[in-house]
Structure 1
Amino acid sequence: MRNMNQKPTITIVGFGRFGQTLCRLLDGECTIHILTAHPKKIKPEQLPGNCSVVVSIKEGLMSDVIFYCVPIRDFKKVLASHKKYLKQQLLIDVLSVKLHAQQVFAQVLKGTNARALLTHPMFGPDSSKEGFAHLRIVMNRFMATEDEYEFWKTIFIKKGLTIIEMDADTHDRLAARSQGVAHLVGRSLAQFGMQETPIDTKGSKLLLELMEQTCHDSWELFEDMQTKNPYAKKMRKDMYKAMQAVFSYFKFDPGG
């Protein structure tokens, strides 16, 4: 276990939209390595001065801390492929579903000395374009030591983030009825074909912003948030019932 007074070396596994955002967030705080399946696609201007691309898994997992910024559906497969290289590292995920992350870590890390810390940054590339001040991040110590947990809390606070400490079950229950609803509505508006008009109200503009923001993320992320969160299915059923209740006030079918 490393000296917590020293700056850590970190590896970001995955360099998609959020991997790049995390690189911006941690610039200046750590020596950063990037481990990705497509290293040749990374442009030099995407990398801060203290950041480099590593080619081999073995080299990438020599860092003190490993951040997993991979698709939810790939997380277990990727982590399992890393198991033979895991020794004393701290592993941190950024998945939008925390019970799934917790279960995968508990299963795959069995028999290793690696530890895991759960996070869910409640922001993305779009909402952090102007900086990270006052944006929020959910944290759960899980397997991390107290010193490790406090170290990363301090780093995130230094960067302007607001820390929300929450267990995985509470997170998923709340996320299903907040972030899950937002993405469901945003995708539904896209299917509906909502467009800007000359007479848009503030509410209409907010709906257009929601549609654009949620549709910037991949369909893969939307699908995984809806299927890997155990509370999402009930949310969808409740939303469907709510829409039926609203339509029932008109005493006719939606298209009647």
Structure 2
Amino acid sequence: MGCKMLEMSGEEHDRLVARSQFLTHTIGRILSEMEIESTYIDTKNFQSLVKLKKNTITDSFDLFSGLFINNKFAQQEGTYIMIEGSIDRGSGVQRRVDANITYANEKGMFR
């Protein structure tokens, strides 16, 4: 695996990340909440979903929430609705995300 440096504005970077990384991590978290696992009758597409879940769930929740909280384009892409459904309502994580969203709104980060 390698890395290629690309020159772009911060805004372009954030817009691309909102579409790719945040969506990928959100779907992975939702699949984790659904507790999907491999079975002996999996299709190739389902195997890809299981792999996506395994790849994203090992990343910290701070990375996942940061992709949303610190990127105004993630909300503009309609991803706010997805994060709402993928977090356990009674958890400390939900309270932390709610506090971060409130802070970001107060600071005008989503405008």
Report TM bin, short chain.
0.5 to 0.7
Matches within 5 A, 1:88-99: none
Structure 1 unmatched ranges of 5 or more: 1-131, 136-160, 241-256
**1:201 equivalent in structure 2:** 43
Whichever residue aligns with residue 181 of structure 1, its letter is L
**1:165 equivalent in structure 2:** 7
**2:31 equivalent in structure 1:** 189
Tell me the SS of whatever aligns to 2:36.
coil
Deviation at residue 165 of structure 1 after TM alignment: 1.5
- Structure 1 residue corresponding to 2:67, chosen from 219, 225, 232: 225
Overall identity of the aligned pairs, in %: 35
Cα gap change, 1:198 to 1:213, in 2 (>3 Å): same
Cα gap change, 1:224 to 1:237, in 2 (>3 Å): closer
**In the aligned structure 1, how far is the partner of 2:16 from the partner of 2:81?**
14
Q: TM-score, normalised by structure 2?
A: 0.67
Deviation at residue 189 of structure 1 after TM alignment: 0.4
**In the aligned structure 2, how far is the partner of 1:215 from the partner of 1:228?**
20
Whichever residue aligns with residue 61 of structure 2, its letter is W
Deviation at residue 163 of structure 1 after TM alignment: 2.2
Structure 2 unmatched ranges of 5 or more: 84-111
- Structure 2 residue corresponding to 1:216, chosen from 49, 58, 66: 58
Whichever residue aligns with residue 48 of structure 2, its letter is L
Whichever residue aligns with residue 8 of structure 2, its letter is M
Matches within 5 A, 1:111-126: none
- Structure 1 stretches of 4+ with a deviation exceeding 6 A read none
Higher strand share: 1
Higher helix share: 2
**Structure with bigger gyration radius:** 1
Tell me the SS of whatever aligns to 1:164.
coil
**In the aligned structure 1, how far is the partner of 2:60 from the partner of 2:80?**
23
Higher RCO structure (Cα 8 Å, ≥6 apart):
2
